[in-house]
Amino acid sequence: MSSRRSFLSKSALMAASAFSANSLFNLLHAQSFADAQRLLNSRVPDAENEAYWATVQDSYTANKGDVIILNNGGVSPQPLSVQKALDVYNAQASQGPSFYMWRIMDKGREPLRQQLAALAGADPEEIAINRNATEALNTVIFGLPLQRGDEVIGTVQDYPNMINAWKQRQLREGIHYKQLSFDFPSEDEDAIVKAFSDAITPQTKLLHITHLINWVGQIMPVRKLADMAHSRGIEVLVDGAHSFGLLDFKIPDLHCDYFGTSLHKFLSAPVGSGLLWIKKIRSPTFGRFCVTTSHAVAISANLKHWVPAALPLSRPLARR
């Protein structure tokens, strides 16, 4: 009996150590991670470099059939390494969710937060891992302590989910949600900043800025807008759904207060992964938001292993 007990506890310890630190997936796929990274590092990511793009193409199984899918932005196809990771951890979790998900896989949470923080140029403490940009932005939209009459300024070109969220607060709580309309695309950053600046009133508490506007590819001058807003005591929420993993920037360099994104777009992480960044030092509202997690949802419990599978392939392309 005692040998059976010691066998069981030894097996549990072995399983735990296999998953700890950088996760079982890293151990299993260390070689393919290293190969992919080496190949990409040795190739210049410019539009003309066929060898570079061949490496990227080989990493994906998408579009091998007759259908050519042009919308890979809303949700990106997953590279083979991510698909494999999903299979590995789904199978593992199904063998005993309460053990593998709660006790073992949970150990990957902090290493993932640190990797994402490094990619974002942020403090891991400022990052919450969640299901998508919508969840991240709604956490802020519905969590900000606004009073009746307080004003938020966005644009008609923002994403409909966010527009509707602000309209809900307007209907329920009597905040004032004002929308500007631009003739995009535009390279006149000063005109964009001026339009926001002119719209500000003493009631304005927040600017809602979409970093990369999905309809037309417009890149908003977030840093200039944030500096202008801060000079007038106004906070800035950035919808980075399409910029994170595509444009070359670090979140703190945008000078905004809140930033939400999906990881399943340009980072090619599994469907149902995102992050919220909240500037720790500056925001007086830090800590007020309801950021929850549930052991019962397998997909979120396992994200910490699947998302790292996407990181070696991540390479922001645009310099801006």
Ligand X SMILES: Cc1ncc(COP(=O)(O)O)c(C=O)c1O
* Binding stretches for ligand X (CB under 6 A): 74, 132-134, 159, 161, 210, 214, 239, 241-242, 262
Question: Can you tell me whether residue 103 is helix, strand or coil?
Answer: helix
Q: Are strands 274-278 and 127-130 parallel, antiparallel or unpaired?
A: antiparallel
What is the nearest approach in angstroms of ligand X to the Cβ of residue 92? 26
Round to whole Å and give the CA distance between 157 and 184: 9
What is the nearest approach in angstroms of ligand X to the Cβ of residue 155? 11
Q: Which spans in the chain are helix H?
A: 2-19, 23-41, 50-58, 80-94, 97, 109-120, 133-143, 160-173, 189-199, 222-231, 298-310
What is the nearest approach in angstroms of ligand X to the Cβ of residue 50? 29
What is the nearest approach in angstroms of ligand X to the Cβ of residue 170? 19
For ligand X, the closer of residues 169 and 242 by Cβ is 242
What is the nearest approach in angstroms of ligand X to the Cβ of residue 136? 8
What is the nearest approach in angstroms of ligand X to the Cβ of residue 134? 3
Round to whole Å and give the CA distance between 268 and 241: 12
What is the nearest approach in angstroms of ligand X to the Cβ of residue 159? 3
- Amino acid identity of residue 36, one-letter, is A
For ligand X, the closer of residues 132 and 139 by Cβ is 132
What is the nearest approach in angstroms of ligand X to the Cβ of residue 213? 7
For ligand X, the closer of residues 137 and 278 by Cβ is 137
Round to whole Å and give the CA distance between 46 and 191: 31
Token digits of residue 247 = 């444009």
For ligand X, the closer of residues 25 and 159 by Cβ is 159
For ligand X, the closer of residues 161 and 293 by Cβ is 161
Token digits of residue 111 = 């290493």
For ligand X, the closer of residues 242 and 255 by Cβ is 242
What is the nearest approach in angstroms of ligand X to the Cβ of residue 85? 20
Q: Are strands 151-155 and 218-219 parallel, antiparallel or unpaired?
A: unpaired
CA distances from 234 to 176, 226, 256 (A): 15, 8, 10
For ligand X, the closer of residues 7 and 215 by Cβ is 215
Q: Whats the size of the chain, residue-wise?
A: 320
Burial 104-134 (b: 16+ CB within 10 A, else e): bbbbbeebbbebbbebbebeeebbbbbbbbb
For ligand X, the closer of residues 100 and 266 by Cβ is 266
For ligand X, the closer of residues 39 and 75 by Cβ is 75
Residues with Cβ within 8 Å of residue 155, at least 6 apart in sequence: 179, 180, 181, 182, 208, 210
Which H or E run contains 178?
A: strand 176-180
- In degrees, rounded to 5, the angle at the alpha carbon of residue 311 between the alpha carbons of residues 306 and 313 is 120
Which H or E run contains 179?
A: strand 176-180
Distance from the Cα of residue 105 to its chain's centroid: 20
